Amino acid sequence: MHLLNSIKSYRSEFWLINALQFVEKLAYTSMLWQMPIYIAQKNIEGGLQWGQEIKGTIFLVWAIVQNITPIFTGGLPIKFGYKKVFIFAFVLIFFGYMGLATQKEIIPFTISVLIIGVGSGILVPTIQGSLASIMNYKNQASGWGIYFMLINISVLIGGILSKYIKNLGWEILFLFSAIMTLLNLIIILILFKNKIHNTTYNLKNIFTDGLMILKEKPVLAKFLFFMAGFTIVYMQFYETLPNFIVDWTDSSSIVFSFSLPEFMLMDTPLGKMLSYEWLLNINSILIILFVVFISSYVFPQKNIKSIIVGIILASIGLIICSSTMLGSVLVIGIIIYTFGEMLVNPRFHKFFAIVSPLEYKSIYMSFIKISFAIGLGLGGILGGIVYKHLGEKASLAQAYLLDKFNLDTSINDSFLKLQELLKLDALSATKLLWDYYHPYVVFYPFAIIGLLSVIGLFSIRKKIFQNNN
């Protein structure tokens, strides 16, 4: 009954803003889920095949730009109002997607990614600040739960669509994201009313106001730093795990046990496997089903406890994902990781929504991006480097040929050369590399980072309770 009353209390503006987020996340997810494969995966037709280090570097710069931008722009809605800032952000994002569709050289492609990063960095705290300003203490828990539920419905649809759209051509995939962004522009221009804004607000104060708040409340700065450990773990699920699935996971038993239809499968050197898009969609489906309940009823008044338990579960889940080549074990890992993520993300946002004054909602919500800037930036570059040396099958095949046969081959041909030289089929060659190099350790460093994050949060929990919890 409490949950139903909370849902009834939301104004139409709440649903309009969530609709904008839904369409934006549909565009973003369709692009994001394919980016690790498009940039770095070997032997993918039409892909860039630039390598894991370049992928990691692009994700590093992207994450830093996208998550540092809100710190400098979080006050824009105070000065110009939400509508004008929405329009500006969507225009930037549109041109970024158009760049991805047309550019195949590293520099212009990366510039296009960064334009998306700046636009998204302006957009997300504007959406979250707008939502925070129209929710109250009683309905915030369910409100953020609904927010993440709708995001993940969009992620689910975007993940499914991206699998089909990419088969039409990588350019078509990025154009689809551009078209969805144009749809949001139309929604904003027609339906959204500009909120009252403070024309006297000095834009120079955006950054200084944020620094002053963190200086006056150092426990918030520590909290953000320790939360970066979670975002590093979070980054691996979306950036590194897709490559791991394509390289190592044998989900054929799932395919045959459930007689899965062709549209859920992908062709790999190991045979017909459940596509990584559908495996990652388990995450979205579970969040859709359970996030509102979990955010409303599990540790309802214990934000920090929820976050600590969530980080532990997410770290354990990530390790389980890579512990064997079996697709069934990967699914168990994804489920555990997902419940951890559900305990963390809504409470992270709820915490800052609660402690922020009404007129500074967008600035406070932009603080969250400090954790994501640190975590996703480091997670991007570390994920690329660690996976390159510990997990990428093509790199390990190249190293094996050099070590055992003193044969130097190109990375793109190394796995086929290994099969040819040892007269092994793809599965046997994969198992050989698995047993020799143990690529399942690829997520161990990130689980350790998650554990350190938990220790840090535990050490400051009492101060956070005293101040805000």
Predicted confidence (pLDDT) at residue 467 exceeds the cutoff of 70: no
Q: Rounded distance, CA 460 to CA 453, Å?
A: 11
Predicted confidence (pLDDT) at residue 103 exceeds the cutoff of 70: yes
Predicted confidence (pLDDT) at residue 453 exceeds the cutoff of 60: yes
Of the residues 144, 173, 201, the one at which a domain ends: 201
Of the residues 164, 182, 201, the one at which a domain ends: 201
pLDDT score of 354: 77
pLDDT digits (tens, 9 = 90+) for 167-185: 899 999 999 999 999 999 9
Q: Rounded distance, CA 267 to CA 314, Å?
A: 29
Q: How confident is the model at residue 263 (pLDDT cuts 50, 70, 90)?
A: confident
Q: Are residues 196 and 207 in the same domain?
A: no
Cβ atoms of 320 and 446 within 8 Å: the answer is no
Helix (H) or strand (E) holding 190: helix 170-191
Q: Are residues 353 and 415 in the same domain?
A: yes
Q: What is the mean pLDDT of the chain?
A: 87
Q: Are residues 61 and 161 in the same domain?
A: yes
Q: List all residues 6 or more positions away from 37 whose beta carbon is below 8 Å from its beta carbon.
A: 44, 47, 242, 243, 246, 276
Q: Are residues 148 and 279 in the same domain?
A: no
Q: Are residues 155 and 235 in the same domain?
A: no
Q: Are residues 27 and 155 in the same domain?
A: yes
Mean pLDDT of 274-302: 85
What is the domain-level CATH number for residue 212? 1.20.1250
Higher pLDDT, 72 or 252: 252
Q: Are residues 422 and 444 in the same domain?
A: yes
Say which amino acid occupies 254.
I
Using CA atoms, how far residue 178 sits from 31, 161, 171, 172, 340, in Å, is 10, 14, 11, 10, 32
User: 248: which 2 tokens?
Assistant: 């190592």
| Alpha carbons within 13 A on the beta-carbon side of 85 | 28
Cβ atoms of 414 and 42 within 8 Å: the answer is no
Whole-model pTM: value is: 0.81
Mean pLDDT of 219-235: 91
What is the domain-level CATH number for residue 169? 1.20.1250.20
Of the residues 177, 201, 225, the one at which a domain ends: 201
pLDDT digits (tens, 9 = 90+) for 349-382: 888 777 777 666 667 777 888 888 888 788 888 9
* Least-confidence region, from 91-105, 175-189, 214-228, 343-357: 343-357
Closest-CA residue to 254 (of 283, 274, 239): 274
Mean pLDDT of 311-333: 97
pLDDT score of 89: 96
Q: How confident is the model at residue 201 (pLDDT cuts 50, 70, 90)?
A: low
Q: Are residues 159 and 231 in the same domain?
A: no
3-state secondary structure 83-103: HHHHHHHHHHHHHHHHHHHHC
Higher pLDDT, 105 or 138: 105
Mean pLDDT of 329-344: 96
pLDDT digits (tens, 9 = 90+) for 391-439: 999 999 999 999 999 999 988 899 999 999 999 999 999 999 999 999 9
Which domain covers residue 303, as residue numbers?
202-468
Mean pLDDT of 238-247: 91
Mean pLDDT of 205-232: 82
Predicted confidence (pLDDT) at residue 213 exceeds the cutoff of 50: yes
Q: Are residues 142 and 171 in the same domain?
A: yes
Q: Rounded distance, CA 47 to CA 45, Å?
A: 6
Q: Which of 85-99, 125-139, 205-219, 366-380 has the highest mean pLDDT?
A: 85-99
pLDDT score of 469: 43
- State how many domains the chain has: 2
Cβ atoms of 39 and 58 within 8 Å: the answer is yes
Q: Are residues 234 and 353 in the same domain?
A: yes
pLDDT score of 435: 97
Higher pLDDT, 411 or 91: 91
Mean pLDDT of 217-228: 88
Predicted confidence (pLDDT) at residue 198 exceeds the cutoff of 70: no
Q: How confident is the model at residue 204 (pLDDT cuts 50, 70, 90)?
A: low
Helix (H) or strand (E) holding 213: helix 205-216
Q: Are residues 456 and 402 in the same domain?
A: yes
Higher pLDDT, 458 or 220: 458
Q: Are residues 148 and 30 in the same domain?
A: yes
Predicted confidence (pLDDT) at residue 301 exceeds the cutoff of 80: no
* Least-confidence region, from 52-61, 134-143, 255-264: 134-143
Tell me how far apart the 2 most distant CA atoms of the chain are, in Å: 74
